[in-house]
Structure 1
Amino acid sequence: MVRPPDPAPTDPADRPATYREVFAVAEFRWLWTALLGSVIGDQLARVALAILVFDRTGSAGLSALTYALTFLPDIAGGPLLSGLADRYPRRRVMVSCDAARAVLVALMAIPGAPLWILCVLLVVVQLLSAPFQAARSAMLATVMTGDKFKAATGLSAVTNQTAQLVGFVTGGSLVAALGTSQALVLNAASFAISAVLLQLGVRERPVPIGADPMAKPSWWGSLSAGARLVWNDRKLRYLTALVCVPGFYITVEGLAAPYAAAVGGGPLAVGVLFAANPAGQVVGILLFSRVAPTRRLALMGRLAIASCAPLIFCAFEPGLWTTVALWALSGLSASYLVTAQATFVQDIPDAQRGQAIGLARTALIVSQGIGVLVAGAAADRWQPALVVAAAGVCGVAFAAGAGRGYQRA
């Protein structure tokens, strides 16, 4: 009897990176520690500002507007300021942004500051997040290569989602215990500590050089070149589309409160519904990281579809816990987003990464904002469950097109 040949060994290049390997890189440990402090401080600050405005004005609308101001400036900051990460050394950009935000948030913590001043300071703080995030992502792609970068991106996403979960569960209680001014002081301190950690632990690197070493593109030249690069490259274009799929399943967060009311739940039900999708994403990212890199790329389109498909079953108006399971399943499949974002960054030439990252980040934020606004307006006319289901149907169609386009690019 002839013995069958041994199966071919797994290609080492297709082995998924481990988190142990990621944390073995000293610069990543400093970057991650700085991120951890900042996201915790940010969550506290968002809750503190919303409570502060509501306590002073008694207006739920102004409180919601203040919370929205922690996201809206990114729409302008992404395309307009992210190019700074390509024009100046990236560590310097990150440290400067953190130092400036520490000062601005400390000013916001002064008791009795007029609300209009708080809003102006908040807008400037959020504008600075665009060049910081662009520089951080571009720097991370330099520090980590191959699948280590994807694993590092996944860890960063898990850190952000976990901070969001902690904020949903404990943010109000912590702010109530500390006071709004003290919570803002902690946020300012987190930015200052982040600046120190980045200065001490991350090596300064020169500005990346493009195809023409003598060329120094203007602000508009950098913006238009980044837009052309993304639009003219089919893979980058469809990766951007995949990154925008959250604009459909984000509707579950925007409609959590009315949905909970419709199923007879109270404030606890709202919190559980808010937490379902982020919790699913944390689990999904950790599980998906164990899949071989090439397999992850092949699964992106299917998982993008699966991130929206569970929402369709909300049309049957299931009870609270069935809905929680569906929304968590949506989050579990949304783990594809880490691979899509990391692949996008790695496919961009280093000299243009900052600007391109800013454009993709803006596309994501705009898609989420539009999704929440449209869903909110629709929920004024139809049942929240039907609106969520409709968002699921539209999301499946959009994700199918984006996934098919990427595979054919």
Structure 2
Amino acid sequence: MDSKATFRQILAVGELRAIWFAELQSILGDQVARVALSVLVFQRTGSATWPALTYALTYLPDLIGGPLLGGLADRYPRRAVMVCSDVVRALLVAVLAVPGIPLPVLAAVLVVVQLANAPFTAAQAAVLPSVLSGDRYVLGQSLLKITNQIGQLAGFALGGAVIAAIGPGRGLALDAVTFAVSAIVLRLGVRARSATGAAGPATSTLRRLSAGAGTIWRDRRLRALVGLAWLAGFVIVPEGLAVPYAAEIGGGAVTAGLLLAAHPAGIVLGVFVLGRLVRPEIRLRLVGALALGAIVPLAAFWFRPSLPYAAGLLVLSGMCAAYQVTASTTFMRLVPDTERGQAFGLAGSGLIAVQGIGLIAGGLLVGVLGSPATTVSVIALAGLVVAVPATRAWRHVAPPHPL
């Protein structure tokens, strides 16, 4: 039976400390940069549409980058992939900070910056099982998830003040510095390991994609885990409707901000509780039930709850959504080491895609139903229809013990 690890134990591992610190300061820099880009584009155009489109450009390239570039984490040494990705992003973000850069150039550079995110993320996810084993790996993944969520909250909260103080150009320069620091920390703090797959152009991108998809499809456990992870497409809808829902219950920007913060806060709490207080074998058994639990509270939006109740429902949903950590760590353990980068790229891109589809569906459906509250609950009920068979599939194939 796998013993329960502690945060003190995993932070005693030098390689994990390097990965964690690089992640923390990069996340903070990225959120400040997103605010800076929105402010910069709005100042240049005076339009509310272009900042929104620019913000979307910080997410959409991952849909392409994951499947096409995630496999680099298998073909080349993973530390080298992370360091090179950081160096490329540092140089390109520095270009974004140049005063007066034409907006078409800014958009093109931003797309390339985000494409470079895909191999980094895949390499980081693929190298972590080599750094930590057993329940330490799960807790390490939990630590990174908590760091990511807190970093996003802090980065967005402080980003406006930072940009107001130093300006958008310097804010982007600050983000470039965080990528450079990350590259140095990873280069010095993570041990060099040989590539797990064949390097070079011998294997075509299409063949690698096909092999990664085949690996997932042939294993019922991997298929079930991907299905459970992609339920996030139903859970994300309240985020896209936070502003109109706040207006529906008589609130404004502050109400919307609290609603947006509630779900990530729940995730942080849930990840901590699961990672620190729940035994590994129990976490594995709870994956399906928690996937359902992430959706069920959202159905209660049918009753148009006031801010305290709505925030409580979102916190509860977020706590249950922490199952994603167990699902992702189990997924990575089941995938052969030589294919982890490609498989992670495919599954991760699908996760981004279903979240985008969920946001679009929510935006279209609210135009038909006329009520954000009704829209959230209807999509949640549809999510339960999908989640029940996904949960049953996992129950039939789940390993009896942690891997």
Please confirm whether the aligned pair reaches a TM-score higher than 0.5, indicating the same fold: yes
CA contact (8 A) 2:32 2:158 kept: no
Are 2:256 and 1:253 equivalent residues in the alignment? Answer: no
Q: 2:225 — aligned with what?
A: 239
1:106 maps to 2:113: no
| Secondary structure at the counterpart of residue 380 of structure 1 | helix
The match for 2:401 is none
d(CA) in 2 for partners of 1:109 and 1:247?
34
Aligned-partner Cα distance in 1 for 2:159–2:355: 23
Please tell me whether Structure 1 or Structure 2 has the larger radius of gyration of its CA atoms: 1
| Structure 2 unaligned spans of 5+ | 398-403
1:224 paired with 2:210, answer: yes
Aligned to 1:332: 319
Distance, in Å, in 1 between the alignment partners of 2:352 and 2:267 is 18
Q: 1:365 aligns to what?
A: 352
Rounded Cα–Cα distance in structure 1 between residues aligned with 2:154 and 2:332:
28
Query: Where does residue 319 of structure 1 map in the other structure?
Result: 306
Q: Write the distance in 2 (CA, Å) between the matches of 1:15 and 1:392.
A: 36
Corresponding residue of 1:186:
174
The alignment-based identity, stated in percent, is 49
Shift of 1:214: 12
CA apart distance, 1:215 = 12
- Normalised TM-score (structure 2): 0.96
Could you tell me how far apart the structure 2 residues matched to 1:44 and 1:122 are? 15
**Which residue of 4, 13, 38 maps to 1:50?**
38
2:159 paired residue number: 171
Question: Letter of the aligned partner of 1:366 in structure 2?
Answer: A
Structure 1 residue 390 displacement after superposition:
1.2
Contact 1:306 1:396 in 2 (8 A): no
Asked if structure 2 preserves the Cα contact closer than 8 Å seen for 1:169 and 1:271, the reply is: no
Residue 293 of structure 2 is aligned to residue 306 of structure 1: yes
* Correspondence 1:133-212 to 2 at 5 A: 133-209=121-197
**How far does the alpha carbon of each residue in 1:320-358 deviate from its partner, in whole angstroms, 9 at most, with x for none?**
111111111110111101000110011110000000000
The one-letter code of the counterpart of 2:236 is I
CA deviation map 1:13-67 (0-9, x unaligned): 3322111111111110011111111101001111111111112112222111100
Separation (CA, whole Å) in 2 of partners of 1:174 and 1:314: 35
Deviation at 1:217, TM superposition (A): 3.1
Unaligned runs of 5+ residues in structure 1 are: 1-12
Structure 1 residue 381: deviation in Å?
A: 2.4
* One-letter amino acid of the counterpart of residue 242, structure 1: L
In structure 2, distance between residues paired with 1:315 and 1:168: 29
Contact 2:2 2:134 in 1 (8 A): no
Which residue number corresponds to residue 254 of structure 2?
268
1:67 paired to 2:55:
yes
Aligned residues: 395
Give the corresponding residue for 1:397: 385
Match of 1:9 in 2: none
Q: Does 1:341 align with 2:328?
A: yes
| Deviation by residue 1:289-330 (Cα, 9 ceiling, x = unmatched) | 121111111100000000010011110111111111111111
Whole-angstrom CA distance in 1 between matches of 2:158 and 2:127: 32
Q: Distance in 2 between matches of 1:190 and 1:94?
A: 14
CA distance in 1: counterparts of 2:189 and 2:257, whole angstroms: 37
Question: What's the Cα RMSD here?
Answer: 1.5
Q: Distance in 1 between matches of 2:186 and 2:285?
A: 35
Structure 2 CA distance for aligned equivalents of residues 271 and 125 of structure 1: 28
**Aligned equivalents of 2:163 and 2:383: distance in 1?**
36
- What is the 5 A alignment of 1:3-18? 13-18=1-6
User: Which amino acid counterpart does residue 274 of structure 1 have in structure 2?
Assistant: L
Q: Which amino acid aligns with 1:109?
A: A
The match for 1:10 is: none
Question: Which residue identity lines up with residue 75 of structure 2 in the other structure?
Answer: R
Matched letter for residue 134 of structure 2 = G
Distance 2:346 2:197 in 1: 20
Q: CA deviation at 1:109?
A: 0.2
1:100-154 CA-to-partner distances (Å, cap 9, x unmatched) read 0000000000111111111101000000100000001101111111111111111
Counterpart CA distance in 1 for 2:230 and 2:28 is: 25
1:377 pairs with one of 352, 364, 369: 364
> 2-side partners of 1:285 and 1:262: how far apart?
31
Match in the other structure for 1:115: 103
Match of residue 85 from structure 1 = 73
Q: Describe the shift of the 1:178–1:15 C-alpha distance in structure 2 as closer, same or farther (beyond 3 A).
A: same
Q: What CA distance in whole angstroms lies between the structure 2 residues aligned with 1:268 and 1:347?
A: 43
CA distance in 1, matches of 2:385, 2:141: 27
Q: Give 1:173 deviation, angstroms.
A: 2.1
Which letter maps to 1:260?
Answer: A
SS at match of 1:86: helix
1:294 aligns with 2:281: yes
